[in-house]
Amino acid sequence: MAGTVYKPPRLLRNPHLQSVLSSLPMRRANGLRDLQRTGAITREHIIDAGDGVRLLGHHSAVPGRDPRGVVLLLHGWEGSSESGYMRHTAARLLGEGFDVFRLNFRDHGDTHHLNEGLFHSCRLAEVVQATKWVAERFPSPAFLAAGYSLGGNFALRLALAAPEAGIPLRHAAAVCPAVDPSAVMRSLESGSPFYHWYFMKKWRGSLRKKRALFPSHHDFDDAVLAQDMRGLTHWLVKRHTDKQDVEDYFAGYAVAGGRLAGLQIPVSVLAAADDPVIPIDTLHALQLPAHSTLEVAEHGGHCGFIEGANLRGFSERWVTAKLVAAVSAM
């Protein structure tokens, strides 16, 4: 484990301020401007992810340039390919010569209509298939991945699954990954009520969209939606997964403890000691192989790492630096 060079101004050392600033509409708008300044052309793609599943993503490339690699970017729970951190990271990567593919998970972004079944975090197979499609559709000297929060969890699981799936993944970077979902739930239940409220507001809105689009398949009433996060997760597990209970579901996508010890593909992990969502002890407990690294910043909040008034972040620079180094070492 190592520290980082991230040293925010004193006024930006509050973890809640960091977490809120990261999700501001202004940060998304700034990210879009940075993307546009790269001169990249962005095209939308709907991917056949197997078993009738369709996922939507955006491929960005600078015309007339041979990329040094292609990077798959994965967003967090109830985020999207258009989240501020996704746009800013894409712009940084494009500036360093990469092409970028920003993938939406099922039911994220404006994609609820593409699939009848609900999103849940154990749906790794469809993300693996989509990743394989991206790697084959956009061949390049190097294929890499990066993700934030739940997207960081998926990026780490992709690194585990890639060799058997035939995905030529070279390196994966994860920012504030949810490595122990059970601990994350406990953190949301015992910490500041704001984060529970924020995620539940977005999740309930997503489920309402799904119900309106597929009323015969999703006939749950508002009493279901009125439950707290643990109650609604229990309902999801019982109705829409093959897991026995909530803890079995969490174990189904956890990468905590020694689950990453056998990684064949190197990964880099960035965490914040003051993250109000992801308990830092779950990151310290990771057993990573020698080719992989964990860096912990004293400050940063949850996927924040904001550096100043322009709302650009250290995390997008960190992801880019890690992936540049991985390609340079090839």
- pLDDT of 171-202, one tens digit each? 999 999 999 999 999 999 999 999 999 999 99
CB 236 within 8 A of CB 118: yes
196 is catalytic: no
b/e 297-310 (16+ beta carbons within 10 angstroms → b): bebbbbbbbbbeee
Q: Tell me if 268 sits within 8 A of 4, measured CB to CB.
A: no
Give me the catalytic one of 60, 149, 292, 315.
149
Alpha-carbon span 319 to 85, nearest angstrom: 11
Contacts of 297 (CB under 8 A, 6+ apart): 3, 4, 6, 270, 271, 272, 273, 305, 314
Is 75 a residue of the active site? no
Q: How many Å apart are CA 206 and CA 14, to the nearest integer?
A: 30
Residue 127 CB contacts under 8 Å (≥ 6 apart), including other chains: 49, 55, 74, 103, 105, 154, 158
For the chain, where are the alpha helices, taking DSSP H only? 15-22, 25-37, 84-95, 124-137, 150-165, 181-190, 193-213, 222-225, 229-240, 246-253, 280-284, 314-328
Catalytic residue among 59, 80, 302, 315: 302
For the chain, domains (ranges, CATH) are 10-183+255-328 (3.40.50.1820)
What are 42's strand-pairing partners?
60
DSSP string, 98-160: EEEEEEPPTTSSS-GGG-SSPP-TT-HHHHHHHHHHHHHHS--S-EEEEEETHHHHHHHHHHH
Parallel, antiparallel or unpaired: strands 98-103 and 69-74: parallel
pLDDT tens track for 148-158: 999 999 999 99
Q: How far apart are CA 237 and CA 311, in angstroms?
A: 37
Q: Please indicate whether residue 284 is annotated as part of the active site.
A: no
**Greatest C-alpha distance within the chain:** 54
pLDDT given for residue 4 in this prediction: 67
Edge to edge, what strands does the sheet with 98-103 contain?
Answer: 41-48, 54-61, 98-103, 69-74, 143-148, 169-175, 267-272, 293-297
Nearest to 175 by CA among 145, 196, 198, 203: 145
Which member of 99, 107, 274, 275 is catalytic? 275
**What's the pLDDT score for residue 1?**
55
Per-position pLDDT tens, the chain of length 330: 566 679 898 899 999 999 999 999 999 999 999 999 999 999 999 999 999 999 999 999 999 999 999 999 999 999 999 999 999 999 999 999 999 999 999 999 999 999 999 999 999 999 999 999 999 999 999 999 999 999 999 999 999 999 999 999 999 999 999 999 999 999 999 999 999 999 999 999 999 999 999 999 998 999 999 999 999 999 999 999 999 999 999 999 999 999 999 999 999 999 999 999 999 999 999 999 999 999 999 999 999 999 988 899 999 999 999 999 999 987
Residue 280's closest CA among 187, 195, 192? 187
What is the spatial distance between Cα 83 and Cα 151, in angstroms, rounded to a whole number? 12
Distance CA 186, CA 171 (A): 31
Residue 316 sits at the vertex; the CA angle it makes with 312 and 322, to the nearest 5 degrees, is 150
Identify the pLDDT of residue 213.
97
